[in-house]
Amino acid sequence: MKRFATPHRLSKEQKAQIISQLQQKIQNTDCLVLTTFKGLNIEEASQLKRKLRQYGAEFKVVRNKFLMMALEKLSLNPLINHIKGSTGIVICDNKENVCSVLKTLVDFSKENTKLQYSAGYVYKNIVDSEKITEISKLPSKQELCAQLIMLLKTNMYKLCNVLNSPVVSLVNILNQIKDKHSRG
């Protein structure tokens, strides 16, 4: 994907192309979060980008006007009200990593108050910052799979113990009978 941050003087064709690319990226994403990052330095932004990259997500700086036009074309007008100041977007195209991406973003914004998230478009639904925080607290797909495996493993272990119990009892009874006969 090409960068959305652009030089100041662009032709109408270049602007239309950037808006079209942005629109297409938003339309095909599973997660888009609008952020403001006033005062965030290059090292902090790079740190956020590295953290997001491990989940297949990216953080991009965009021109407000271009983002507004792309959102308007996609009929996502409620998000336009959240575009203020220096705007960055977090985009994730991997459904399985959305919770991890949001968790990373929420944790980063707690550590670094210069970055704030205001709204988003998650799983084709417009969400506010509170909903983003709620979603970030959900376990990831990998965590849910691990919990399910542990649950199944525990239940299988218990089932094996129950099924083995009569056999063990029978062996104990036979040993007691054998001991009685060998003494007497």
Task: Give yes or no for a contact between 32 and 121, defined as CB atoms under 8 angstroms apart.
Answer: yes
In this structure, the chain runs to a length of 184
6-123-90 Cα angle (round to 5) = 30
Task: Give yes or no for a contact between 49 and 89, defined as CB atoms under 8 angstroms apart.
Answer: no
Q: Which of 54, 107, 60, 114 is CA-nearest to residue 87?
A: 60
Assign 3 a pLDDT band (cuts: 50, 70, 90). low
CA–CA gap between residue 131 and residue 101 (Å, rounded)? 14
pLDDT per residue as tens digits for the range 36-73? 988 888 999 999 999 999 999 999 999 999 999 999 99
Q: What is the pLDDT of residue 1?
A: 43
pTM of the model: 0.72
CA–CA gap between residue 124 and residue 146 (Å, rounded)? 27
Among 126-130, 134-138, 140-144, name the one with the lowest average pLDDT: 140-144
> DSSP alpha helices (H): ranges in the chain?
12-27, 42-53, 64-73, 77-80, 98-111, 129-136, 141-183
Amino acid at 11: S
Identify the H or E element spanning 59. strand 57-61
Q: What is the dihedral of CA 17, 78, 116, 63, to 10 degrees?
A: 20
Q: What is the pLDDT of residue 48?
A: 94
Task: Give yes or no for a contact between 35 and 90, defined as CB atoms under 8 angstroms apart.
Answer: yes
Residue 3, Ramachandran bin (φ over 0: left; ψ between -120 and 50: alpha; else beta):
beta
Task: Report the share of the chain in percent with pLDDT over 70.
Answer: 95
- Mean pLDDT, range 1-21, rounded to an integer: 75
Residue 173: helix, strand or coil by DSSP?
A: helix
